[in-house]
Amino acid sequence: MDRAIYGDNQFFGVNHYSEARAAERQRRFSDDADIFRTLCVAHEIGIRTFMFTTHARFENVFSMMRRDPRFDDFKLVPCIPYAHKYADAMTQAGVLGAMWRYMPRNIASLGVRAARSLLTLDPAPVLRSLIDSELRLYRGLHVEAVFLQNIPVDFALGLGMHHLLGAFSEYVEGRYQARAGFITMNHVLLEDTLRQKLGIQRPLICSSINRIGFRMNPGKSAVEESLAKGASDVIAMSVMASGAVSPAEAFEYIDGLEGVSSILFGASSRKNIEDTFNRIMRSGSKNESLARCSQ
Amino acid sequence: MGLSHLAIANALDEFKVVAVSDLNRLVGRSIARFTASRYIRDYRDLLRDPEVDAVLVSVPTHLHFPVARAALDQGKHVFLEKPLTLSADSSRRLAEQAREARLATQVGYVNRLNPVFEHLRTMILEGTYGAPVEYECAMRGNVVGDEGAQGWRNDHRFGGGCLYEYGSHCIDLALFLFGHFASLDSAALTRIVSADVEDRVSALVTHKNDLRGRLEVDWADKSFRKATNAVSILTEKALIVGNKQEIVVFDHPSRGLDLATEEAGSRAPDRKVNVTDLDATVPYYLRGEEFTRQLLHFHELITAQATGSVAQFSDGAEIDRLISEILAARGQ
């Protein structure tokens, strides 16, 4: 995967550090065309991978992208399911209840899967319907990887339902020929579970990695040790801890770490996108994707 | 919430989840299938099981009282979700039973375990910025869509309504930060989109230390992507504004400065503390560090490494008394 991956937090008023900053961003991107224009700028600068949550807002943005041949070389990394649609359902009814509640429109195919789920008390078949439903919008676009969001990932880990992670992985790779990835706030637990309990050789993981150890559970040194083993492909997010760490310090820290393949970043102005992208690409990685990224 | 607590308890080494009780057989049997827990449909059978030392109770609020009381009767430590009960009297009785029982008891007012709010409380108690003069404590979010509250959320008998759901957290934060309440001075409940319950609550309160405060609660505010707790405190020397992520301090606020964050936001703060400044990693994270920390705290109480919960049943009872006064003030 590309070393520099552009994220979508800035489009939706997400800023884990400051709620005021988040609100301001939300106002700035209230028009879909603004989002598309920013993606055009990102593409001009050299970004080729966009990682995003499957918010309904993107429907128009991707229509614009499909019509624009400049984006033929653009790679998409959808993260499913759209967090807030399901997070409420999740807390009210749990992973299982949420899956039963959010049904895709194709009742016929769901019927068989739902019946099998009920008979075996296993949500995996319904999970596949959920994946199909979430990825419907991206047909015809190049989907490089599909990530499962941290809430379902970490819920599955906590409840001991890691076979769901295995089912997700098999289905994404088999049906969509895309790499399956997992976002988590529990890096070490996830990596151990994927490798040892599911036998996934080289998992693709996205987790919070930054100089101050913010959201690096169970602890900064434990995550660093895990990274040093080099057993997974890791995308680092929250590298600036949502603004608590300066860009210079943030990238100095990441450069000094072994085991980070890619960096997910957010920015909304041309200058910030360009500066951050250039800084990431300058970092001492021998990753061959660096060569692919040049214009 | 129950599945959330289950996932956390199951993931933590401190707990062994031996059994789960739920009226929904599908959920119960699925859990039993994939975890090491047994499924026991009737909670009374679970409470009689000698292998069980403690229970995490997340049943619907109208069942809090019978379930928690039965658990204490059976000598089990009890973690009970908030609000404690739907009746001030039941809550008072439950709190008394907890006090007499010599068991670990804790109510799920999770904000008390949020490192930023803990820090804010310390700042207030240390008096660095002088005594608080007045405050606003607000909780806003978008739980109900345009159609308004549905199902149990639209029914007070089942703990529905903005006051029970959000108001309880908001009142709890005020209790945690500023101390016991002396009086409810006025209250207003407003319906906006929901058919049978309030969507907004406004209340003026006075604390035992004479501090005056305003509570503002709204669960139908679409400008909020997720639930936000915000506290603005005017003290003798500063304006302090805090939420789950950060605290900002403005020294010597000018006369007439509005407590509203918008006003304060145009001036750079003199001091700032962010959640990233406070070490908060946990062995297992789901939805927020504070959810794990509250269960770790409950464990400390059980093993007597801590005495007296940071979130006691008596706190829950005090909140429920204020809630009933607010409801009475509006003739509900």
What is the per-residue DSSP string for chain A?
--SEEE-SGGGGT--SS-HHHHHHHHHHT-SHHHHHHHHHHHHHHT--EEEEE--TTHHHHHHHHHH-GGGGG-EEEEEES-HHHHHHHHHHHHHHHHHHHS--S-HHHHHHHHHHHHHHT-SHHHHHHHHHHHHGGGTTS-B-EEEEPHHHHHHHHHHT-THHHHHHHHHHHHHH--EEEEEESBHHHHHHIIIIIS--SS-EEEEE--TT-TT-BS-HHHHHHHHHTT-SEEEEE-TTGGGTS-HHHHHHHHHT-SS--EEEE---SHHHHHHHHHHHHHSS---THHHHH--
pLDDT at B123 exceeding the cut of 80 = yes
Determine the residue among A88, A183, A191, A217 to mutate to test chain B binding: the one whose Cβ has the most chain B Cβ atoms within 10 Å. A217
B136-148 as b/e, with b when 16 or more CB fall inside 10 Å? bbbbbbbbbeeeb
CB-CB under 8 Å, B261 with A17: no
> Are B310 and B107 within 8 A, CB to CB?
no
Q: How high does pLDDT run on average in chain B?
A: 92
> Are A263 and A4 within 8 A, CB to CB?
yes
pLDDT at A140 exceeding the cut of 90 = no
Q: How high does pLDDT run on average in chain A?
A: 85
> Are A165 and A194 within 8 A, CB to CB?
yes
Nearest by Cα to B329 from B192, B184, B205: B184
CB-CB under 8 Å, A151 with B276: no
Q: Tell me, what's the pLDDT at B255?
A: 46
Q: What is the pTM of this model?
A: 0.89
A84: which chain B residues are within 8 Å (Cβ-Cβ)?
225-226
More confident residue, A123 or B17: B17
- In tens, the pLDDT along B239-285 reads 999 999 899 999 875 544 454 444 445 577 888 898 888 878 999 99
Nearest by Cα to A239 from A213, A205, A275, A210: A210
Q: Tell me, what's the pLDDT at B145?
A: 81
A189: which chain B residues are within 8 Å (Cβ-Cβ)?
11, 284
Q: Tell me, what's the pLDDT at A124?
A: 77
| ipTM for this prediction | 0.88
